[in-house]
Amino acid sequence: MSNLIVHGGRPLRGEVIPSANKNAVLPILCATLLTDQPLRLIGVPEITDVKKILDIFRVFGSDVAMDFSTGILELHHHLTSFDPAVHRLPEEMRSSIMLVPPLLARFGVARLENDVKGCTLGVREIDPHVEVFERFGASIEATADSLIVRTETQMRANSHWLDYASVTTTENFVLCAASAGGNSVLVNAASEPHVQEFCRFMAMLGVEIDGIGTSRLSIEGGKKLGGGEFRFSEDFHEIATFLALGAITGGQIRVKNTAPEQFPLIDRTFAKFGVRVIHQDGWSYTEVDGQLKVNKPFTPNILTKIEAAPWPYLPVDLLPIFIALGVKAEGSVMFWNKIYDGAMGWTGELSKFGAHVFLSDPHRLITFGGIRLSPASVESPYIIRVAIALFMVAASIEGKSEIRNALPIKRAHPKFVENLRSVGASVEWTDSETE
Ligand SMILES: CC(=O)N[C@H]1[C@@H](OP(=O)(O)OP(=O)(O)OC[C@H]2O[C@@H](n3ccc(=O)[nH]c3=O)[C@H](O)[C@@H]2O)O[C@H](CO)[C@@H](O)[C@@H]1O
Ligand SMILES: C=C(OP(=O)(O)O)C(=O)O
C-alpha cells in the first residue's frame, strides 16, 4: 500500500509543464504493433501502465529503447512473436484490450485476461469490443480466466453503429479497420481529444481516416503501414488538475496548454465555482475573487448542475476534481455522472474531512460546500482521479492528512509529487512501491 501524506493549507503557486495523456499514449503504444517499421515517440510519460506495455513488448521480442529522462521511445516490432499459451497481456489496465487487434493482424490470435478492468468505476463492458472483433470476422472462445480471439484470414471491412460512444471500443474499431481490406465506417464513435490524438497517430502510420473528431469515422484499411516520429500533446486532465489545485488552495498554478480550444466547457465548469480560467500565450491559469463560491442559476428552484458524458460533454474523468471544488465552494452543486454506475461510492470518504455530500443515486451526488473542513486519513478506491480529488481536498485544509492507497495516481501522472513540491506543496509518499 502506498499513501500520500500532505500538510495542507498552503496556497500552491508556480508553473507546471503537463505530461502526455495516458489515454492517448496507451492506445498509440498498442497501435505501434501494427507496423514492422521503426518508430520514435516523443513525450512518453513515466507511468505504470506505459511500463507494463513496454515490458510485454520486450517479452514479445520487440526492440524497446525507452529513455524516461528525455521521454523518447525508440520502438521496432520486427522480431516480435506471440504465444497465447505463454504470454499474458497486462492486467489491471483497460488498455490491454487494444493489443487484441494488432495481435490478430500479426498472429491471427490474441488472449485477453478477464481482469482488464482498469479503474473500479462500476461495470466496464467487454461485449462492445467482442462485437467489434466479431464484425471484423474474429471468433471468440471464453475460457475460465480469459477470452481467446482468433482470425483465420485477413479481417473483413465492415460498418458498425455503436450502442454508445465508447472510447476504447472506437479505438479498437479503428485498429481492426486499419488491417482489414477496404472501407470501414463507425457511427456513434467517441471523439475525445485522446481519441483524436490516437487517430492522428494512425494517419501518420498511413491509415486514411475521415471524420476525426466527429461521431462518424470512415477508415480505408489493408495497406502496409509505415513508421515515423510522433510527439504527444499535453494531457487536458493534468492541465485541469493543476489549475484546480491552484484554485482550491487559494493559490494560482500556471500550466502549459497549447490546445485551449479543448477547454470552453471545462472553463465554464470552473466558472460555476467562481473560478475564471485564463488562457494566454500557450499557458493557462486561474483567478478567484475571494473564496470559492457556487454561482446560482437564474432559473428558480434548481441546483447548479455539472453533467459528465462522452465528448463533447464534460469528460467523466474530470468529475472527481470538480467534486473536490464542490465540497470547498460555498453553495450546492449536483454532479451527474452519465457514464459509470459505480463511480460515486467513494464520496462517503469526504465526510471524514467533515464535508457534507449526499449521494442521491449511483449517478448523482449533491455537494453542500463551504463547511469548515478538518484534516483526515481517507482511503482511495482504485480510481486515479479519485485519489487526486481526495488529495485536492486534503491540500486545501490546514494540517496533516493522509490519502491511503493513492498509488493509482502513478498510472496516469508522472512526477505528481515532484510537480506538487515545485509549486509549494508539502507532500510525500509513504511505503512507496517501486513501480
Ligand atoms: C484507457 C481509456 O481510454 N480509458 C478511458 C475510457 O475507458 P473505456 O473505453 O473503458 O470507457 P467506455 O467509453 O467504454 O465507457 C465505460 C463504461 O461506461 C458505460 N457507458 C459509457 C458511455 C455511455 O454513453 N454509456 C455507458 O453506459 C459502459 O458501461 C462502458 O463499459 O473512457 C472512459 C470514459 O470516458 C474513461 O473514464 C477512461 O479513462
Ligand atoms: C479510468 C481511467 O483509466 P482506465 O480506463 O485505464 O482505468 C482514467 O484514466 O481515469
Pocket, ligand 1, Cβ cutoff 6 A? 23, 26, 94-95, 123-125, 164-169, 310, 316-317, 339-340
Q: Whose CA is nearest to atom 1 of ligand 2?
A: 119
Write the CB contacts of 121 (distance below 8 Å, at least 6 apart in sequence): 339, 340, 342, 343, 383
- If you average pLDDT over residues 276-281, what whole number do you get? 98
CA of 296 to the centre of ligand 2 (A): 32
Residue 435 pLDDT grade (very low, low, confident, very high; cuts 50, 70, 90): very low
Q: Is the pTM of this model over 0.95?
A: yes
CATH of the domain at 309: 3.65.10.10
Question: How many domains does the chain fold into?
Answer: 2
Q: Are 223 and 95 within one domain?
A: yes
pLDDT in tens, 132-180: 999 999 999 999 888 999 999 889 999 999 999 999 999 999 999 999 9
Least confident range of 151-155, 189-193, 375-379: 151-155
What pLDDT is stored for residue 84 in this prediction? 85
- If you average pLDDT over residues 388-417, what whole number do you get? 97
pLDDT in tens, 63-89: 999 999 999 999 999 988 998 888 888
Q: Are 169 and 244 within one domain?
A: no
Whether residue 288 is predicted with pLDDT greater than 90 in this model: the reply is: yes
Within a domain: 8: yes
Distance CA 398, CA 374 (A): 7
Ligand having the closest approach to the CA of 412? 2
Biggest CA pair distance of the chain: 66
Q: Are 327 and 222 within one domain?
A: no
Q: Are 258 and 399 within one domain?
A: yes
Classify 92 as helix, strand or coil.
coil
Q: Are 387 and 424 within one domain?
A: yes
Residue 432 pLDDT grade (very low, low, confident, very high; cuts 50, 70, 90): low
Within a domain: 435: no
Q: Are 343 and 296 within one domain?
A: yes
**Ligand 1 atom closest to residue 309's alpha carbon, by position in its atom list:** 24
Q: Are 269 and 380 within one domain?
A: yes
384 lines ligand 2 (CB under 6 A): yes
**Of 180, 200, 231, which marks where a domain is finished?**
231
What pLDDT is stored for residue 115 in this prediction? 74
Q: Are 294 and 376 within one domain?
A: yes
412 lines ligand 2 (CB under 6 A): yes
Q: Are 78 and 211 within one domain?
A: yes
- If you average pLDDT over residues 125-129, what whole number do you get? 94
What sections of 180-304 are H helices per DSSP?
A: 193-205, 236-248, 264-271
Q: Are 169 and 50 within one domain?
A: yes
Within a domain: 331: yes
Cell matching residue 351? 465526510
What pLDDT is stored for residue 353 in this prediction? 98
Q: Which of 51, 170, 384, 385 for mutating ligand 2's site (highest number of atoms within 8 Å of CB)?
A: 384
**Of 176, 210, 231, which marks where a domain is finished?**
231
ipTM above 0.95, yes or no: yes
- If you average pLDDT over residues 248-262, what whole number do you get? 98
Domain that holds residue 71: 22-231
Q: Is the separation of the CB atoms in 192 and 18 below 8 Å? A: no
